[in-house]
Amino acid sequence: MLLFPCKKIPYAELLLLLVAIAWGTSYSVTKMSLVYTTVFCFLFIRFFMTSFILLPLFIYRHWQGKTGPWKKAIPSGVVLFAIFCAETYGVLHTTASNAAFLISICILLTPLVEWWWLKKAPAKSLFLFVVISLVGVLLLTEINLSEISLNQGDFYILIAALLRAVIVVMTKQVINSKSLSALEITTVQSSMVMLLSLTVVIVSGELDFLMVRDDTFWLNTLYLVTVCTLFAFFVQNYAIKRSSPSRVSLLMGSEPAFGALFAFIYLGETFSSWQLFGAVLVLTSTLCVAANIADKPLFIREKWLKQS
């Protein structure tokens, strides 16, 4: 018997799997939060709370002269804001299954963007696991490709998928070339989303919707801030510095499988055998990539077999 891949997962990539689990729960929590306010008010509140926690640490390090050229991270913050806008409006105008499948296309786009942007070709075997993961998401979401007719919402989701690929590669380049820490990147990105969301709130006259008095909203938002924003973005930026954009994207691409698991456990949803098989494919490809099997030849080496 081969050793289970989890025993070989590096620390940074194990953290990415935890982020994928957290983000798998975020859709349901976000949907519940949006009952109480508008999209941009919610984004402002979420990222204001995030920035309120991060900015004091950032300013303290800046006064000590320990921060790098943080302004170089501003463009990635703008891209992150665009991702949230595209995803939110996409979900509003398409089905959940369409959104889950189309957003997962980012795991296919990221190796291509990395190849074009950084002039670095990913491992060939990585594409095999990308295909396996996409097939798994296809089964999990029960999408019939012959019946897909792209509407406005689907188009927004595809834009978000492309931007997800772009921001991972962009962040990798900024971190490597400008010597920025995960704290600096996360602070700048969160602050940009906060400021741009506030701008939209003011221009659209939605300030009244910032006064939310329901405890459920604030508990949900606190969870999203601490787990799905602070922890998730910090880990993602930390891992990008220590791994390739393609590997990070594929690991994060397991999000739909964990989302389905959350829906099964907490929301009581049921799944067919094909959906369960799809989830297994997604998780298997994710664990193989996390355990660095994607960097090996397509056929397992003899030394790998000796570990049985």
Residue ranges per structural domain of the chain = 11-295
Number of helices (H), then strands (E), belonging to the chain: the values are 14, 0
CA atoms within 13 A on the CB side of 201: 21
Question: Do residues 293 and 128 lie in contact, with contact meaning Cβ atoms separated by under 8 Å?
Answer: no
What is the rounded average pLDDT of the residues 1-14?
Answer: 57
Q: Find the helix or strand (DSSP H, E) in which 266 lies.
A: helix 255-266
Highest mean pLDDT among 107-116, 246-255, 261-270: 107-116
Strands (E), 43-158: none
Tokens of 303: 């030394």
Question: Do residues 249 and 168 lie in contact, with contact meaning Cβ atoms separated by under 8 Å?
Answer: yes
Higher-scoring residue by pLDDT: 125, 223: 223
- Using DSSP, state whether 65 is helix, strand or coil: coil
Q: Around Cβ 209, how many Cβ atoms within 10 Å?
A: 18
Res. 218: pLDDT tops 90: yes
- 18-36: per-residue pLDDT in tens? 888 887 777 778 878 888 9
Question: Do residues 248 and 111 lie in contact, with contact meaning Cβ atoms separated by under 8 Å?
Answer: no
Round the average pLDDT of the chain to a whole number and report it.
Answer: 79
- 226-264: per-residue pLDDT in tens? 998 999 888 888 888 777 787 787 777 777 777 767 766
What is the pLDDT at residue 268? 67
What is the rounded average pLDDT of the residues 54-72?
Answer: 88
What is the pLDDT at residue 299? 41
What is the pLDDT at residue 46? 94
Highest mean pLDDT among 23-37, 206-220, 278-292, 293-307: 206-220
What is the pLDDT at residue 77? 94
Lowest mean pLDDT among 58-62, 147-151, 196-200, 291-295: 291-295
- 179-209: per-residue pLDDT in tens? 778 888 889 999 999 999 999 999 999 888 8
